[in-house]
Amino acid sequence: MAVCVAVIAKENYPLYIRSIPTENELKFHYMVHTSLDVVDEKISAMGKALVDQRELYLGLLYPTEDYKVYGYVTNSKVKFVMVVDSSNTALRDNEIRSMFRKLHNSYTDVMCNPFYNPGDRIHSRAFDSMVTSMMIQVC
């Protein structure tokens, strides 16, 4: 379902970025990069209220002609960005949420690994397989 999945660290550098290799991947990287501004905007907008009330799922960040970009932020300011093909007939919001939830769970599992230093790139095979499962469904 997703064409590109990215995990961005708190300092806005990518921990993990993967896209369907068919197209120009750089384009996706660029889209993810630009979406970071939108994410920050959303965070700051909600941040005025109590942090507890801020929802992790940010929803649609911005749509483009071909793609839609969704965002999700964890409490430790790690961002998940997902690029979805617009032609894919309306993926329901719940599905996107569930995908982000899976991402978050996998990310937590990665963090639990003592050999993983926070801030490193994610090389976990379990994480990879999970992302693959999300991306494969596009077909």
Cα end-to-end span (Å), the chain: 8
Closest to another protein by CB, 26 vs 112, is 112
Question: CA geometry: angle at 68 spanning 120 and 60, to 5°?
Answer: 80
Closest to another protein by CB, 12 vs 105, is 105
CB of 78 to another protein, least distance (A): 17
CB of 83 to another protein, least distance (A): 26
CB of 15 to another protein, least distance (A): 14
Closest to another protein by CB, 64 vs 121, is 121
Q: What is the DSSP string of 20-71?
A: -TTS-HHHHHHHHHHHHHHHHHHHHHHHTS-GGG--SEEEEEEE-SSEEEEE
Residues at the contact surface with another protein, assessed by CB under 8 A: 108-109, 112-116, 123-126
Q: Is 124 helix (H, G, I), strand (E, B) or coil?
A: coil
Closest to another protein by CB, 17 vs 110, is 110
CB of 112 to another protein, least distance (A): 4
Closest to another protein by CB, 76 vs 113, is 113
CB of 18 to another protein, least distance (A): 17
CA separation for the pair 42, 95 (Å, rounded):
21
Q: Taking every pair of C-alpha atoms in the chain, what is the biggest distance, in angstroms?
A: 42
